[in-house]
Amino acid sequence: MTLGLAGTGSEKDWQVDIDEAIGRGLYGVTITSRQYRFQVAGLQFERLVLLRGFLSTSERQERFRLLDVFGGKLEFVRDEGRLALRITQVAGELGTNLVALMLQPAEWAALGLALERAIQDVQQR
């Protein structure tokens, strides 16, 4: 599979790169800040557009499920005035496995702007 950089955007400490799997209609996204690096592949472009909408709207929507990964789900969740990037996996009777990265409102606003710019870059090509 051949990947190519389809778009890039940045705001403050956030960098968003969108890669396209050439000829497959699928995309990957790499989100980087001073503290975080997050990368997923196999997304429909529309999922990135919907994520941008979730990040830029008020608290009408509490969670956005981006993708099923690692045998669980990857979602963005509004949590007590912060934004959490959560990966959860139900482990049956043993409970739930969880990874959560917490972002303050200013951080998620900057992430949203970086994603917006990367999406615009893809759409202008």
**Domains parsed from the chain with CATH numbers:** 3-124 (2.30.31)
CA–CA separation, 100 and 65 (whole Å): 14
Radius of gyration of the chain, Cα coordinates, nearest whole angstrom: 15
> What would the two tokens of residue 98 be?
């969880």
Residue whose entry in the numeric block shows the structure tokens 């592949």: 41
Residue type, 104: Q
In terms of DSSP bridges, do strands 72-79 and 82-90 run parallel, antiparallel, or are they unpaired? antiparallel
**Tens of pLDDT, residues 18-33:** 999 988 989 999 999 9
What is the arithmetic mean of pLDDT over 33-55?
Answer: 93
Cβ atoms within 10 Å of 49's Cβ, excluding its own: 15
**Tens of pLDDT, residues 83-119:** 999 989 888 777 888 888 899 888 989 999 999 999 9
Instruction: Using a cut of 0.85, tell me whether the model's pTM lies above it.
Output: yes
